[in-house]
Structure 1
Amino acid sequence: MNRSAQIGLLAATIVGVVVAAFTVGSVGLRQVLTAMASIGWLGMASLTAWSIGVLTLLGFAWVSVARGEATERVWLFVWARTTREAATDILPFSQLGGLVVGARTLAAFGVPQPVIYASMIADLTTEMAAQLIFTLFGVGVLLLVLTHAAVQQGLVPLALGGMAAMIALMLLFVFAQRPMLKLAGSLGAHLLPGSVAAMAAVREQLDAIYREPRRVIAAFLFNLAAWLASAVGAWIALWFMGSQVPVWAVLMIEALIFTLRSVAFAIPGAIGVQEAAYVLIGPLVGLPPATALALSLLKRARDIVIAVPALLVWQVGEYRRVVR
């Protein structure tokens, strides 16, 4: 990462932290802490266990498009997806750093690089397609729920803009896959020996994956199930906090939050964006701002509980590879 990118990430992180701190201050720190404490240890443990189940679904989605990898090796892809999400959630690398960590995790267990990168591209494509379906549901419910004209004027354009940005990102990613691989191979030919052959192998694997629709469909369904399950996890947390928000309302909130997080991919962990979005959207379905913000912070605490041990184990493995 060059110096300009590092400065940009640092600036984005600082702005996000400031926005998050301002959001907490405007809602009231004491109220937020009280709402967070209401989940209890059992509720936090349940949220964490449910999230591990979501990571399992994501691992099944990834292995579905990994040609030549037996289903019995799904545990490896679950672990790779765990380290990938851990790096994305708590390290200042944005989402790109998480992809690198996930790829290195698979490489450490002997998965061929063409299989790693081709399956990652296909998995990302199906994940974005599943998220688009989830986003359409969220925007549709939002349009049905909103009746106040002033709120509509402020929030509907934001939701529609996020959905449009999500569609644009997906189309760009889908249609730029092969041209970008070709460009990377051409540039790499001047820098690294064998890079053209490596990129050609990735393209060949990717073409082979798309010639097997059942793999792509399976990955799409697993990713869609993961999006839905992740939203249900938020409902479980709210239930332990004593909130009686219906499941459909939580699905709507989470769909919009995930969309805004994806659009704000350049900000590590979407810090600030997620907190402000919860405070803005939560009250539309009767969720008090303090409870909505507490949910956001509890999800970040859950991420830390899962991510820190995962990254420590991954780092030990990296160290052993270097020693060998």
Structure 2
Amino acid sequence: MDRLRWPIALATVAGLAAAVWAMHRVGFGGLFHAIDRMGWLGFLAFCAASLVLSLILGAAWWASMPGQPLRQMPLFAWARIAREGANDLLPFSQIGGLIVGGRALTRQGLPGPRTYAAMVVDLTTEMASQAAVTLFGVAAIASILIDGDRHHVGPAAWIGVALSIAIAAAFILLQRPLLKLADGLARKMLPDAPIAFDRLHEELTDIYAHKGAVALSFLLNLAGWLYASVLASMALSLIGEPLAFWRIVALESLIFALRGAAFVIPGAIGVQEAGYVLLGPLIGLDPEAAVALSLIKRARDIAIGLPALLVWQALDVRRSAHSVR
């Protein structure tokens, strides 16, 4: 993390500049008027609905750790909220968020090697499911550009659906290549995890032997990506800018891909806003509404992530104090 400090700082400054550019381009007055249409009650409903996404993603992480009782699923959802809060709000890249999420579980008594191995499996299934959704997004955008602004899913989008199904089938069947991918992820993204890599590899091998658990993690992460589009649809409806759901899935899938590519920038700040400005019009979304959606999601991240991080920090300090005694 020390080596990444200056690159992350420079990337963050660039991201902030991109965010200001995006908001200036659509106009601050109209932007805040669009957000105001949602109202506080609408925003609270949006935040409450977003907690369901945390539960889905927590379940995907729980499924990546076969053998854990069902009653521990809320604990994984809590760890996922802390992990995302660190990614979105703290001044370091997503690597730090992974460590925060891992500590949220290990501090509750879960074994370290198994916890971090399950996190790597969850990351792998998340990436594979994102690839499937992104393929649909690219194909849907291509369908719009080829077929024009019509209210149906064109042939190119259906090709994307077929490719997405093929990715899902390959993911469930081809476990050995994915184990190699998980090994690579572990080496690159968890270099400072408090466990030996040989032990982590043993745990990864054991988890990938449970094909049903890995497949369930994939399907839950896929459900998470789709539910995130449901949330975007909800936010757009609340600000008076409804849009066909398949178009929202297309837009959100590409925004998520941009965020993933910009993982070194905390919260992908600026990248998300610029992406909405540039991609929104392609699916028929006004740039003003697109940036409003981005800011609403940012506000949601703060409203949920900040209290979660404060609770996580308090629990971590208390447990550290007990260990010293």
- TM-score after normalising by structure 1: 0.86
What is the identity, as a one-letter code, of the residue corresponding to 1:131?
Q
What is the identity, as a one-letter code, of the residue corresponding to 2:183?
R
Residue in structure 2 matched with residue 5 of structure 1 by the alignment: 4
Any stretches of 5+ residues in structure 1 without a counterpart?
150-166
Whole-Å separation in 2 of the counterparts to 1:180 and 1:101: 17
Whole-Å separation in 2 of the counterparts to 1:45 and 1:264: 29
What is the identity, as a one-letter code, of the residue corresponding to 2:216?
A
Equivalent pairs, count? 298
What is the identity, as a one-letter code, of the residue corresponding to 1:296?
S
1:200 Cα deviation after fit: 2.8
- Contact 1:67–1:115 (CA<8 Å) still a contact in 2? no
Residue in structure 2 matched with residue 299 of structure 1 by the alignment: 297
1:39 Cα deviation after fit: 1.0
- Relative to structure 1, is the Cα distance of residues 204 and 175 closer, same or farther in structure 2, using a 3 angstrom cutoff? closer
Q: Deviations over 1:240-281 (max 9, x none)?
A: 111121111111110110011101111111111110110111
Residue in structure 1 matched with residue 204 of structure 2 by the alignment: 206
Residue in structure 2 matched with residue 71 of structure 1 by the alignment: 70
What is the identity, as a one-letter code, of the residue corresponding to 1:266?
V
1:180 Cα deviation after fit: 7.2
- Contact 2:54–2:77 (CA<8 Å) still a contact in 1? yes
Residue in structure 2 matched with residue 273 of structure 1 by the alignment: 271
Residue in structure 1 matched with residue 306 of structure 2 by the alignment: 308
- Contact 1:16–1:273 (CA<8 Å) still a contact in 2? yes
1:42 corresponds to 2:41: yes
SS at match of 1:97: helix
Whole-Å separation in 2 of the counterparts to 1:147 and 1:65: 40
Residue in structure 2 matched with residue 146 of structure 1 by the alignment: 145
Q: Deviations over 1:65-114 (max 9, x none)?
A: 21332111111111111100110011111111110000000011000011
What is the identity, as a one-letter code, of the residue corresponding to 1:241?
I
Residue in structure 2 matched with residue 227 of structure 1 by the alignment: 225
- Contact 2:120–2:186 (CA<8 Å) still a contact in 1? no
- TM-score after normalising by structure 2: 0.85
- Contact 2:64–2:217 (CA<8 Å) still a contact in 1? yes
Any stretches of 5+ residues in structure 2 without a counterpart?
149-166, 172-176
SS at match of 1:146: helix
Whole-Å separation in 2 of the counterparts to 1:182 and 1:253: 32
Whole-Å separation in 2 of the counterparts to 1:144 and 1:34: 32
- Relative to structure 1, is the Cα distance of residues 22 and 174 closer, same or farther in structure 2, using a 3 angstrom cutoff? farther
Whole-Å separation in 2 of the counterparts to 1:173 and 1:218: 15
Residue in structure 1 matched with residue 16 of structure 2 by the alignment: 17
1:122 corresponds to 2:121: yes
- Contact 1:257–1:278 (CA<8 Å) still a contact in 2? yes
Q: Deviations over 1:40-65 (max 9, x none)?
A: 12221121111110010011101112
Q: Deviations over 1:13-39 (max 9, x none)?
A: 001001111111121111111111111
What is the identity, as a one-letter code, of the residue corresponding to 2:274?
A
Residue 240 (structure 1) aligned to one of 214, 238, 241 = 238
Residue in structure 1 matched with residue 158 of structure 2 by the alignment: none
1:82 corresponds to 2:89: no
- Contact 1:135–1:255 (CA<8 Å) still a contact in 2? yes
What is the identity, as a one-letter code, of the residue corresponding to 2:302?
I
SS at match of 1:301: helix
- Contact 2:95–2:189 (CA<8 Å) still a contact in 1? no
Residue in structure 2 matched with residue 319 of structure 1 by the alignment: 317
What is the identity, as a one-letter code, of the residue corresponding to 1:239?
S
Whole-Å separation in 1 of the counterparts to 2:288 and 2:253: 20
- Contact 1:106–1:116 (CA<8 Å) still a contact in 2? yes
1:103 corresponds to 2:108: no
Whole-Å separation in 1 of the counterparts to 2:68 and 2:251: 36
Whole-Å separation in 2 of the counterparts to 1:13 and 1:174: 33
1:219 Cα deviation after fit: 0.2
- Contact 2:106–2:115 (CA<8 Å) still a contact in 1? yes
1:284 Cα deviation after fit: 1.9
Residue in structure 2 matched with residue 289 of structure 1 by the alignment: 287
Whole-Å separation in 1 of the counterparts to 2:84 and 2:187: 28
Residue in structure 2 matched with residue 161 of structure 1 by the alignment: none
Residue in structure 1 matched with residue 156 of structure 2 by the alignment: none
